[in-house]
Structure 1
Amino acid sequence: MSAIQATGLAAGYGGREVLQDINLTLNEGEALCIIGHNGAGKSTLMRCLFGLHRPTAGSITVFGQTLPRHEPAALGAAGIALVPEGRGVFPDLTCEEIFGLALWSAGVPKAEGALRIEEVLEILPRIKEFRTRRAGTLSGGQQQMVSIARALLTRPKALLLDEPSIGLAPKLFQDLMEPIAALVKSRGMSMLLVEQNVHEAFAVSDRVLVMRSGRLIREGTPAELSDHSVLMELF
């Protein structure tokens, strides 16, 4: 069964078309990466998949079902979580307060909340060093850890990550993605990764889709698309 399937998806802003006839399948337990140039439509696609932007055409199913309302709350309840571009942490809240808000929003019982936080801290242990600090005082890499941890608190069956490497050194991005890739393998979690850091993204992906000018133009394995000259032709 697919975790997410989009068929004939189209979307735009103010009458300007951004996505055209997108057909995409994220399989259960798969790490799928989407790459493409700036402005290709990758973030718009992620916003549509997570119910933050309404498509003008097409359909989206989640674990084989069409949701009555394709919106973030319903998708969260179905087991989908998003780590947005730009991290989206609340700068005036501490990490612990952000986690508490995420647990409350997901309807996690108080008695279970502490267990879930400890579970996430085992995955991303460096957060223990700054869990009581306000998010606005953290570095970009630390904020990204908090954003990913917040999503993992819901124990998602499918995790969507939109450009998580922005502003991060390659080594830090690698350190962030390795435990996420391990979850894909150990839990059978699905991951959809939109990324421009091709080398590091390919290292944690099973399959790659290339997007250009609002369309998906190529599919392959990381090995098939790792040649620099091939990527230059596609971009």
Structure 2
Amino acid sequence: MLDVRNVSASYGAIQALQNVSLQVPRGEIVALLGSNGAGKSTTLNAISHLIEPSAGEIRFDGELISRAPSDDIVRRGLVQVPEGREVFKDMSVRENLELGAFLRKSARKEIADDFERVYTMFPRLKERSEQRASTLSGGEQQMLAIGRALMARPRMILLDEPSMGLSPLLVEQIFEIIQRLNREQGLTILVVEQDVRLALRVSTYAYILENGEMNLHGASKDLLNDPAVRRAYLGV
């Protein structure tokens, strides 16, 4: 579904990505791993065209999107959940969700159905629908960020550090939700995650970035038992 080939990107004179390639098959969960500053978030931002790739090509469902504007990429069904949640804290939970459906605002009946779908998956959001997003806990804000993405009716989501700042119990809950979205709704997912063990447990395939270049990739179960991965990322 997603095919990234030889993508490079820079921030001014700083080379952030160098010839990065990865593929995400339809209906799979794929993990993108690496240390801080490895280029993981930059890769997602290049896919979403929040930054301009300097080289390479990106295809979504067979169509070239390397130069497509971000709103067009969302319309095609590829939606990013940003690092740090980035909810609109002075707006209510419901208003945040409405913004997720902004590009579909003419489809009122569908949007009403989507509210119910999101509220069914995240009952806490329904309970707090009129509260300001700033009053939510970190875990609830992450649920809101995912719910907002679902309001766009994506076929694939890019999740950037969903466990950031959350307790171990909440991290487990968020990743259970990610697996449900994949299993029950057929969503294709590319997840960037610092918790390497957890990411390898829920994904089928994984890529590891180092210093903006692809260092290693393979089936998640194989990487989980790879001695180099265990030494570098699992403390074994």
TM-score normalised according to structure 2 size: 0.93
Distance 1:163 1:57 in 2: 25
Report the RMSD for the aligned CA atoms in angstroms. 1.7
2:203 equivalent among 202, 205, 210: 205
Superposed CA offset, 1:47-93 (max 9, x none): 00011000111111110011484222111111101100011111100
**How far 1:229 moved relative to its partner?**
4.5
Gap runs ≥5 in structure 2: none
Give the share of equivalent positions with the same residue, in percent: 36
Q: 1:69 to 1:153 in 2, by over 3 A?
A: same
Task: Please say if residues 124 and 179 of structure 1, whose CA atoms lie closer than 8 Å, have aligned partners that are also in contact.
Answer: no
Contact 1:26 1:192 in 2 (8 A): yes
The whole-number CA distance in structure 1 between the counterparts of 2:154 and 2:106 is: 13
Conservation of the 8 A alpha-carbon contact between 1:19 and 1:41: yes
Superposition map of 1:121-200 within 5 A? 121-200=119-198
Tell me the SS of whatever aligns to 1:136: helix
Aligned partners of 1:93 and 1:38: how far apart in 2? 31
Aligned match of 1:221:
219
- Contact 1:4–1:62, Cα closer than 8 Å, also in 2: yes
The secondary structure found in structure 1 opposite 2:101 is helix
- 8 A contact 1:170–1:200 mirrored in 2: no
Match of 1:116 among 114, 117, 122: 114
Aligned partner of 2:52 in structure 1 is: 54
> Displaced runs of 4+ in structure 1, greater than 6 A?
none
Alignment match, 2:69: 71
Deviates more, 1:220-229 or 1:91-100: 220-229
Gapped regions of structure 1 (runs ≥ 5)? none
Structure 2 contact 85–142 (Cα < 8 Å) conserved: yes
Aligned CA distance change for structure 1 residues 108 and 45 (closer, same or farther; 3 Å): farther
Which residue of the partner structure matches residue 104 of structure 1? 102
The total of aligned residue pairs comes to 233
TM-score, length of structure 1 as denominator length? 0.93
